[in-house]
Structures are given as C-alpha cells and as structure tokens.
Structure 1
Amino acid sequence: MLRHAIAPIRRYTKASHDVVRHSRLNSDAKILLLYVQGLPEGADPRPLSEHAGRLGMKGRAYQKAKQLLTECGYLHEWREQGARGRWVTEQLLANVTLTREEATRAREGEPAVAAPPVPPSERPPTVGGPGERPVGDSPQKEELEEKNLPHPPPEDDTPLADLAEAEGVLLSLRYVNRDLLLGVREARLLAGAAAEWLRRGVSAADLRRALTTGLPTDGIRSAVGFLRHRLLQKLPATKAPTPAPQPERPAAPPRRNLVTCQGPGSEHVFRPRADETHCLRCRTTAAYEATLQQWGQGFSPGGTRPSSA
C-alpha cells in the first residue's frame, strides 16, 4: 500500500493515535468524537444526537457509537432535576479516557488529569537544603494498593476472546456498584487476571457475581486495588481433566463343569466347550484312524490308486 499525506496548516483537528487506532471503537464512534472535538470554542452547546444527525448518523448506528464511547470512558452523562422539576441531561465528551471522578472534576472546571511530568533537564533547580526524614511510623497507604499486590497470571497464552470478554465484564461492574467504576486502561490491566477465571470454567455471569457480592459497607477507596485483590484471592481451582471412558471388555463365557469322556481307555474327564462327549485327544485319535482307514481302502497294494473303469 502506498501512502501520500500532507500535514494541513489550517482547519484541522488533532487526533490521538489512541483514538484513531482504538480496537473497540467503531468508525462511527471515532468520527463522532473527532467531529465534536473539532467544533470551535464559541459553538452553541448542542446534544450529541444533533451532531450525529449532521453526520447522517441516526437510529441504531448512533446508539451503538454512544454506547462504545461510554464504555471506553470518552463519554459521560449526568441526569439531574432542575429548579422547575424538569430533568436535564448534561454530556461531556473527552478525547482521552476519563474515570467518573476525573469527568466530574472536568465538569466543575478543575483539571481532570494531572499534567505530565517535566523532564529532568527542564526542571528548575531545587531551592534550599535537603529536608529531614520524619521519624515514626511509615505513612499510611491506601488499602489494597495495586503495587503491593502480586502480579496476575501471565497473559501470554490467554486467548484474545477471553481477554475481550473479561474486559467487558470489568467495565460493566459500574452498573452494579458505582464504586467499581474502571477506566479502559484500568480494565485492561485486570483483564488477564479476570480471563484466568474464564479459562478455568467460570462463566461471565458468575465472575460478575463473585466481584460484586459482599462488598465493604464503608465503600471502596480503590476499585483497581479491590478488584485485583479479589481476583487473586478468590481464584477457583483448575478443574481436573475428565478421564476418558474405558471400553467395556466382553464378559468371559461361563466355565462348564467337568464331564467323563466316553472314549476308549481308562476313565478320564475333560471340560467341554459345547456339547462334546469325547475329549480332544480321543477325537484326534479317532479322526487319525478314520483317515488311515480311508487311505487303506482307496489304494491298491502296489501303491497306485485303482482306476474307476
């Protein structure tokens, strides 16, 4: 494939590769996101559905794009009742994934995401001497902090279908309890540990039930830390492989009782296979003598067979 690209100098919108190459967003969701981000600053605030209508996106196509933007953390909505009792829906569409807390801060005019760290070469020199280290107990850390927990099982051999299903289960936990709200990146960090449950035979519904049952009554401070701890501590055992059924052996025929042989000689017994009255030795001897007798009658004394004429 040949590629020819000229960077525009005006009337363009900056698009992050995280959006353009997003694996879960479809083309409608990406175009709608870029369209809204490219609106001028003084544009009238309109519902997202009106912008989608201008792009020719209606009905199920718009609902699917809106659902994907919400699940991936780009779209957030608040439905509140106004002073006159009317319900109003306010929407926030971002070009980066935001958690619910970050979206709330952006809605209130605060910075949603902290500024990126300044490179060491660009940092101003530190003023003053080194500070003293406080004496006493170590500062309290948030319980179930992610960096203090063991790593999840390796994801090298985990099928992509299991990872995608596990990520969908983790993102859906927000609808069960708002304290379990995860961003897309956070869900991907936990997808390997959740996919291990699916690999061990646990259904998606049972996995969701295991992660949302028996939550702390005082709330959850860190959704990532809590879910990682529960995924590792409650990991079910691997199912033992079911042994292959062994073919049934045919039943041995019943053993017959010993009977007395009716042949010549001293009395002896044998075990017949059917309805024989003579043992094998007597039957063999009788057959041998009958053969000799037939040969004796069929040949002349000179050793030649008599003619039939």
Structure 2
Amino acid sequence: MLSHVIPPPRGYTKAPNGLIRHPRIGSDAKVLVLYIQGLPEEARDKALSEHARALRMTGRAYQKAKADLVTYGYVHEKRESVAGGRWRTVQVFSNEPLTDDQAARLRAGVPADGYANTSGSGVPGASPAPSAHFPTVGEPTGRMAGGQLPADEEQGEDSSHPPTEAAETEEPGGEPEAPSQEELLLAERVLLSLKRQARQLTLGVREARKLAGLAAEWLRRGVSAGDLRLALSSALPAEGVRTAFGFLAHRLVEKLPPRSEETAECTSPPPPSPLIACDGPGEEHLFRPHASWVSTCGPCHREQQRAYWADLMARAEADPAPPPPSWRERVAIEIRANEVASG
C-alpha cells in the first residue's frame, strides 16, 4: 500500500495511537472519542448520547460504540441519588483509558493519579480545549485525560450536575426513559448468576453494575429474568469467551429485542376483504366475507341452515324409518346366514 500523509497545519485533533490501533474497539467508538476531544470546551458539556446524535449515530450503532468505550475504560458511569428520590448518572469521558479509581477521583473533583490538572478550567485532568475561533489557538500542553462531566439534562437544566440515566436507555425516535431501580437490581442479580450457567461468564460486582443499565433495558422491554439469563448464556462460541465483560456487553447490545410499539408498527393488520354480493334470497345486498369461500352473509346463511333442517325433519316425519329388529330376529338372521355360508 502506498501512503501519502500530510500533517495539517491547523484545526486538527491529536489521536492516541493506542485508541486508533485498538483491535477490539469499533470505528464508531473511535470517531466518537475524537469528535468529543476536538470540540471546544464549552461544546463538550453534554451527555455522550447528544454527541453521538450530532454524528447521526443512534440506535444500536450508538449502544455498540458506548459499550466499547465503557468496556475499555474510555467512559465511566456511576448512578447516584439526588434530591426528591430521583437518580442520575455521572459520566466521565477520557481520550485515554482510566481505571475505576481514577474515574472516581475525577468525579470527586481531584486529579486522577498520573494526570495533572493543567487546564485551569475547574475540570480535573482536562487539557485546554480548542477555542471556537479559527484558527484554533492555545499553547501545547502535556497528556490530556478527559474528565468531562456533562451538564444536567433533566428538565432542560444547565448546572454542574451530571446528566440523568436517560443517556443509558435512550432509543432512536423516542423519548429517553431510565430503567427503575428495581430493574437495575434485578438485572445485576441476573448478570451475577450467569456464572452458574457457564463458569466463563463469571463477572465481578463492579462489572455487573456497569452492565446493569444495558441488561435492565431488556427487562424494560418485557423480557423476563429467566429469558434474559438464557439469551446471555446460550449458544456460546466454540472457542470460548475471552472476557466475560466484553462478550456480555456486545451480546446485550447486538441482541437487544425491539420495543413492543416497534413490533406493533411492523405487524400492521391486513387490509379488509372487499364487499361482494350475497347469494342468499331477498333483495340484492353486499357483505364482507370472512373467508374466500363464503358466498352468503351471516343472516342468510343462518336462514338457509334453518330451512335445511326443517325440511329434513319434515321428511323424517312423513316417511318414518322402520323400527330396528328385535334381538330374536337378529339371532335368527345370524343363524340363517351361517347355514347359507356352511351349506
């Protein structure tokens, strides 16, 4: 392959080679990381799903990309309760993989281990973002580790609080809807129980909590806990599962069943049968048959049945059948038949 690469003089985003060359992260996930990294700082303050929509990345493509980023440490999420008994999800984004401890430090407002807060913007571990001016300006800095805490999406508010769980279960063409706490707990129990189905599907508690949002979406779409467990543990690859977390994250996204309203839209009722003329007596009238072989309407059909049985009963009364022979007569007939056969 011949290659001709010209470094752009301005308006570019530095991409980590570890991300670009990662063999298990899909192209949509890589594009999403680079897109967010290259935005001005004031434009980053959104949920991951909103950035994906800006790239026209929705539905399963977005869920797959998000699962890849969560699996390999580029996105970390944590549910937390807020006033009024509501729940929200804190998202931490980074263009370099972060451990759970590093993400927790960023959520707490302190620099993650190994990443200094050089931005001066109040967001720990974030480097200065490109400005909105063209060409972009800014002094070169050291390694950047994300720490973007998206603004609150709830009720259109704009505050320093992280977004709600809506980013977890958002569906294309519909309003975001978060799974309930009961669904999340049940989903987590199902994920932890998979080790009894197959030892290679053993998850840790933290891993199960990370996948609980994806699994709860199955429950919210009407799938029972038993069916969810069967869908995740059946038909495992013959070569085995390398990592339970990555395999289950991929299966939860790729095999997600459609919502009931989507199924109803796809299975529209057939068109009604055309009106035809009834073959019954009386004035000509039309009806809609329930089957192709029907030629009379319901009232005419019932009237024909009544006339048929009335005629049959009248014939039976006019020419009654002879009474059946007595048992003596039947024995005599049998004896004569045997005599004829033996003679």
Bin of the TM-score, shorter chain as denominator length: 0.3 to 0.5
Task: Give the TM-score normalised by the residue count of structure 2.
Answer: 0.35
Choose between structure 1 and 2: higher helix proportion. 2
Q: Larger Rg: 1 or 2?
A: 1
Task: Give the TM-score normalised by the residue count of structure 1.
Answer: 0.38
